[in-house]
Amino acid sequence: MYVDCITVTQWIYGYRSEILKAALKAFQIASNIELATGYFGPKTHALIKTLANASSTASVISMATSTAFTRDLQEGMSGPDVTLLQTLLIHDNAGPAAQTLLQTGTSTYFGSVTKAALIEYQQQQNIVPALGYFGLKTRAIMVQ
């Protein structure tokens, strides 16, 4: 599994680094790992290996992302999971609302800009109803 650690570490510094870092930080917070930094260190690697019994980079990333979302999200909420959602919306969505979110920048607060980008994403993914509520339907599609 050491190869997986190296592969994921290299991936952190690659194309999707901001998404994985946000996912890992949210996962670390949800897992009560002290000093949740978003970096793939020995404690995080051991926990992911134990939980996922992962044999590939894709399964590690998928598990870390899906584990980071432990609750439904809606306007007015705050937390590292909101930052992860915003990061994924910016990355997976090229529409005008996502571009506004990109210009505004990520935060820990789910406000009207995040809601608009989420509605836009839900419409693109044919999620009905597209209300800007991050629940089971949207989460299942987003973490694939």
Assess whether pLDDT exceeds 80 at residue 83: yes
Q: Which residues on adjacent β-strands are paired with residue 109?
A: 78
Higher pLDDT, 99 or 44: 99
> Confidence band (pLDDT; 50, 70, 90) for 127?
very high
> CB neighbours (10 Å) of residue 141?
14
Amino acid 94 reads A
Does residue 107 register a pLDDT over 70? yes
pLDDT over 90 for what percent of the chain? 31
Residue 96 carries which side chain, given as an amino acid letter?
A: P
Domain spans of the chain, in order of start: 2-68, 80-142
Residues 114 and 52 sit within 8 Å (Cβ to Cβ) = no
Q: 50-59, 89-98, 116-125 — which is least confidently predicted? A: 50-59
DSSP H helical segments within the chain, as ranges?
Answer: 2-12, 17-30, 42-52, 57-68, 80-92, 96-104, 112-124, 136-142
Looking at residue 31, what DSSP letter applies? T
Contact 40, 12 (CB under 8 A): yes
Rounded to an integer, what distance in angstroms lies between the CA atom of residue 43 and that of residue 132? Answer: 34
| 89 and 98 Cβ atoms separated by less than 8 Å | yes
Q: What is the pLDDT of residue 44?
A: 72
In the predicted model, is pLDDT for residue 79 greater than 50? yes
Helix axis angle, 80-92 relative to 57-68, nearest 10°?
A: 130
| pTM for the model | 0.62
H or E segment at 93?
Answer: none
